[in-house]
Structure 1
Amino acid sequence: MTSDTAQTEQVTVETENLRELITRARNVLFDFDGPICRLFAGHKAERVAGELVEWLEGRGLHGLLTKEERDSLDPHMVLRAVDRRHPGSDLVAELEERLTQEELRATSSAMPTAYADPLVRTWSAVGSRLAIATNNSPRVVRTYLAGRGLLSCFAPHIYGRTQDLQLLKPDPHCLNRALNGLGAAPSATLMIGDTPTDFEAAQGAGVLFLGYARNDRKEKLLRDAGAEHVVDSLEAVLRILLDQP
């Protein structure tokens, strides 16, 4: 067997495995930032994280974060770090609202993920039930989806960040809320996510998982976490849906 033949056979097997995964799913849970869009494509997450850190420092709370947390350039890491030290506090509530406002600003320059819009519309049209399960604010998700004409494909099943930040993914809380809201069996439900925490949450909820990786680094992180099925484009998923009788 030549290397080209072996490679062709491997691609065929992967395609069939993906087809089985897609056709088994009667319910689909999407992560938001990644599979649906790049929320911070124009309104950079790094800048948002820096502004949250500056806001804390302006309140005399420089020592609240470690150097790693201050330098993380990840606004969610900053928020969760403060919540670990002051859970349920007014400080956390105010910081979370500041992050939500920044996320809302980001929706105007968010970049739709390639093939996401037609994939969502097609999956909805063939009768699958869809939900969003995300660590972003549900207000942000609704704003973005409404702007793309996609809200009706999901509403009211949008499950995002709550005031209890301990329940963010990798905790399966928002996935379990989605399952309950849809009345869905985990075995007939597929989660599409782009991070190891999405995969961990899917495992915790007992649902199938498909990783979306827009670059090699993202794919390696998903594979290293244990994700078996990963695609670098949603086009392959859309083609399978369109090929179904």
Structure 2
Amino acid sequence: MEPERLRALIGEARVVLWDFDGPICRLFAGHSAQRVAVELVEWLEGRGLHGLLTDTERQSLDPHIVLRAVDRRHPGSDLVDELEERLTQEELRATSTAMPTPYADPLIQTWKAVGSRLAIATNNSPRVVRAYLATRGLTSCFAPHVYGRTRTLSRLKPDPHCLTRALSAMGSAASAALMIGDTPSDLLAARAAGVPFLGYARNERKAKLLRDEGAEEIVSSLQPVLEQLRSHG
């Protein structure tokens, strides 16, 4: 990404909306998300609900796909609530082995120090986000603006609901904000909310997924973002 474009993107942002798992940390670095998905599928099968998922959903190895699939068929049910709580407990366990994204902590602290307002807009449980932030001493950088998974699972990204909640609570126009995310669903949510987007891709596979969805501004490290902010913030 050209330094001039990155500088302009950063300079125009008065509010920065962060996805959590990816740009801030690798939540499942030491606690496999694939294993969590398999266990959720096995839990459903243990209750005689094997047929609730398609083969594709069952083999996705993504706990959010499993959760949303069940919610589409039984929205607002006790089954969905119980499955969501099981996922939240697994996410909470994962915080103890989560790996901070390189340069994320100082970038967050610097952005806060130069007067920008920060929020988190994520598909993870807000309980999980707050637990992680507390371990890194970052709570004050975001509080109280953590917008995560609610019981209305149809509002998970790519729906822009968590972004619009953040913008509304902070009294910010979408054009004055910047979303940092690492998945196509982050990009689609930002696009739907009218928020400029900066993609973070720690490998070429992630970058290709973002490019295929039309992302133009992508960085492979947060270091150049931090350097630009320090030199022009």
- TM-score, length-scaled by structure 1: 0.94
State the Cα distance separating 1:68 from its structure 2 match: 1.0
State the Cα distance separating 1:174 from its structure 2 match: 0.2
> Aligned match of 1:185 in 173, 180, 183?
173
> Aligned match of 2:23 in 15, 18, 35?
35
Distance (Å, rounded) in 1 between the aligned partners of 2:123 and 2:186: 10
Distance (Å, rounded) in 1 between the aligned partners of 2:94 and 2:231: 35
Distance (Å, rounded) in 1 between the aligned partners of 2:191 and 2:58: 30
State the Cα distance separating 1:15 from its structure 2 match: 1.1
The alignment status of 1:153 with 2:129, answered yes or no, reads: no
- For 1:240, what is the secondary structure of its paired residue? helix
The alignment status of 1:168 with 2:130, answered yes or no, reads: no
State the Cα distance separating 1:185 from its structure 2 match: 1.1
Paired position in structure 1 for 2:217: 229
State the Cα distance separating 1:67 from its structure 2 match: 1.1
State the Cα distance separating 1:109 from its structure 2 match: 0.2
The alignment status of 1:199 with 2:169, answered yes or no, reads: no
Unpaired stretches in structure 2, ≥5 consecutive residues:
none
Paired position in structure 1 for 2:230: 242
Unpaired stretches in structure 1, ≥5 consecutive residues:
1-10
- Opposite residue 128 of structure 1, the aligned amino acid is S
Paired position in structure 2 for 1:141: 129
Distance (Å, rounded) in 2 between the aligned partners of 1:73 and 1:223: 23
The alignment status of 1:60 with 2:48, answered yes or no, reads: yes
- For 1:33, what is the secondary structure of its paired residue? coil
Distance (Å, rounded) in 1 between the aligned partners of 2:41 and 2:158: 24
**Which aligned pairs between 1:5-44 and structure 2 lie closer than 5 A?**
14-44=2-32
Paired position in structure 2 for 1:212: 200
Query: What is the alpha-carbon root mean square deviation over aligned residues?
Result: 0.7
Distance (Å, rounded) in 1 between the aligned partners of 2:53 and 2:220: 35
Structure 1 runs of 4+ off > 3 angstroms? none
- TM-score, length-scaled by structure 2: 0.99
- Opposite residue 170 of structure 1, the aligned amino acid is P
State the Cα distance separating 1:181 from its structure 2 match: 1.1
Distance (Å, rounded) in 2 between the aligned partners of 1:72 and 1:180: 34
- Opposite residue 27 of structure 2, the aligned amino acid is L
- Opposite residue 43 of structure 1, the aligned amino acid is H
> Aligned match of 2:84 in 79, 84, 96?
96
Distance (Å, rounded) in 1 between the aligned partners of 2:101 and 2:89: 22
State the Cα distance separating 1:244 from its structure 2 match: 1.3
> What per-residue deviation string (whole Å, max 9, x for no partner) do you get for residues 180-217 of structure 1?
11111111100000001100000111111000000001
- For 1:174, what is the secondary structure of its paired residue? helix
